[in-house]
């Protein structure tokens, strides 16, 4: 916590440079969240995998680091079924290979994939301080007489897991998420600052079949946002997933901002109704 690292690109032998979108200089963990630094997370993954990084040298990481990451992520709701009250809940893709470079990709959300409801459970787990709660579509059922006073069913709050970390570390993550939506953060402007929001943006590589022949042929960019408000006493969370908003070779200034626009409209309508 508070560790400072240089955000310079890293280079592994026989592979392209791996970088953040921009170079941010020497930053700490809070700034890494605020600016969405890739290389800060790469160095974290190298430490978890007990590797020794040398520029343009080979990198060998322990395969068990994949289990360390996955077991931790599952506590937040990523890579495990959420328990939502719908039949046949599916999971996202779980990578099978354990090459060292894939662990670096994994650390920034570019290897395993997660469903929108998994992302929703993840951000809610952070918002409520580390309790992973079973989501429900159905809250209450009343008999058909008017007025609705005879309640015959109510879903109960069910805690599925507790994140195994200290309150200090959880609060550190929440402070980083607050900074994401502060001035200069990658999520600034997604939700009006008057609502005291916190959250995290995400941009990932994705792939599609453009001509319907069953063969994946085009690499794309997908964007996501998860957030909650107010950050000191959350009452609402948002999960916005916008897949395939651009091809991977599109300049950054040409990537659609639809994810941001949707978040703005949805959050403003919510706060307009529930002030």
- Least confident among 21-25, 47-51, 78-82: 21-25
Instruction: Write out pLDDT tens, residues 201-236.
Output: 999 888 898 888 999 989 999 999 999 999 999 999
The average pLDDT across 90-114 equals 93
Per-residue DSSP letter, 6: E
List the CATH number of the domain containing 216: 3.40.710.10
Residues 205 and 221 sit within 8 Å (Cβ to Cβ): yes
Residue 275 has pLDDT above 80, yes or no: no
- pLDDT-derived band of residue 30, with 50, 70 and 90 as boundaries? very high
The average pLDDT across 158-178 equals 96
The average pLDDT across 37-66 equals 97
Can you give the residue range of the structural domain that contains 36?
5-273
**140-142 and 159-162 beta bridge pairing:** unpaired
**Nearest Cα residue to 225 out of 102, 122, 77, 107:** 122
Report how far residue 18's alpha carbon sits from residue 5's, in angstroms, rounded to the nearest whole number: 15
Instruction: Write out pLDDT tens, residues 174-201.
Output: 999 999 999 999 999 999 999 999 999 9
Q: What is the pLDDT of residue 13?
A: 94
Q: How many domains, the chain?
A: 1
The average pLDDT across 41-53 equals 97
Question: Model's pTM, two decimal places?
Answer: 0.92
SS3 call for 40: helix
CA 238 to chain centroid, in Å, comes to 12
């Amino acid at each position: 916590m508070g560790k400072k690292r240089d955000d310079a690109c890293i280079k592994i032998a026989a592979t392209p440079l791996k970088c953040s979108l921009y170079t941010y200089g020497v930053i700490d963990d809070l700034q890494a969240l605020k600016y969405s630094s890739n290389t800060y997370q790469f160095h974290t993954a190298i430490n978890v995998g007990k590797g020794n990084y040398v520029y343009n040298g080979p990198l060998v990481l322990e395969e068990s680091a994949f289990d360390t990451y996955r077991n931790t992520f599952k506590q937040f709701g990523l890579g495990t079924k959420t328990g939502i009250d719908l039949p046949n809940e599916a999971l996202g893709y779980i990578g099978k290979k354990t090459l060292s470079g894939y662990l670096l990709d994994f650390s920034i959300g570019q290897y395993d994939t997660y469903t929108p409801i998994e992302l929703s459970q993840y951000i809610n787990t952070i918002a409520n301080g580390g309790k992973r709660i079973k989501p429900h579509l159905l809250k209450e059922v009343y008999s058909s007489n008017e007025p609705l006073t005879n309640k015959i069913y109510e879903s109960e709050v069910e805690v599925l897991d507790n994140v195994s970390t200290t309150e200090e570390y959880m609060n550190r993550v929440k402070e980083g998420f607050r900074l994401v939506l502060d001035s200069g953060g990658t999520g600034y402007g997604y939700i009006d600052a008057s609502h005291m929001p916190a959250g995290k943006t995400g941009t990932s590589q994705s792939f599609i079949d453009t001509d319907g022949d069953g063969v994946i042929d085009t690499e794309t960019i997908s964007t996501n946002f998860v957030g909650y408000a107010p950050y000191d006493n959350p009452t609402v969370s948002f999960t916005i997933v916008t897949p395939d908003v651009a091809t991977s070779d599109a300049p950054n200034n040409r990537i659609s901002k639809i994810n941001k626009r949707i978040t703005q409209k949805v959050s403003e309508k919510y706060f307009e109704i529930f002030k």
